[in-house]
């Protein structure tokens, strides 16, 4: 599937993988995020931290009519306030997608898959 944006100059089709990669990159930049987790934790087994080329495995982009929703699976750093991290990720991802692609996101759902102790 892809997201279709109609402009005065024509139609733009953006793949869901592109949206997922941009959203994952924006989330990783937030304070308190250790990494992205796989959305298929039961199938993949232990929660693994995904590398940059696999961000789309930790993000689900859903589109119904003109509404776009994103589900993100993240791993947070130990000792941080999870609610604040989730709010920061939602804000940053929404802002980044709006500025880079002109995409208006209706909802960003955050699923915390784990807590990791990071080295100081």
Per-residue pLDDT tens digits for 33-45:
888 887 665 454 5
- Domain locations in the chain as residue ranges: 2-116
- For the segment 26-34, the average pLDDT, to the nearest whole number, is 89
Scan for tokens 């759902």, then name that residue. 109
Q: Which of 43, 24, 120, 42 is nearest to 77 (CA)?
A: 120
Q: Report the interhelical angle of 82-101 vs 16-28 (nearest 10°).
A: 130
DSSP 8-state symbol, 49: P
CA 118/CA 112 separation, integer angstroms:
16
CA-to-CA distance for 37 and 50, rounded, in angstroms?
A: 6
Q: Which CATH class is domain 2-116?
A: alpha beta
Pairing of strands 10-15, 107-116: unpaired
Residue pLDDT, tens place only, 93-116: 999 999 998 888 999 999 998 888
């Amino acid at each position: 599937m892809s997201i279709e944006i109609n402009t005065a100059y024509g139609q733009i089709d953006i793949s869901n993988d592109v949206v997922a990669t941009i959203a994952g990159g924006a989330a990783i930049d937030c304070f308190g995020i250790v990494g992205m987790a796989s959305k298929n934790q039961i199938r993949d087994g232990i929660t693994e931290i995904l590398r940059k080329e696999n961000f789309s495995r930790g993000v689900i982009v859903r589109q119904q009519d003109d509404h776009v929703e994103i589900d993100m699976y993240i791993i947070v750093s130990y000792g941080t306030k999870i609610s604040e991290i989730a709010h920061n990720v939602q804000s940053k991802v929404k802002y980044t997608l709006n500025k880079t692609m002109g995409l208006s996101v209706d909802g960003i759902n955050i699923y915390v898959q784990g807590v990791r102790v990071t080295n100081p």
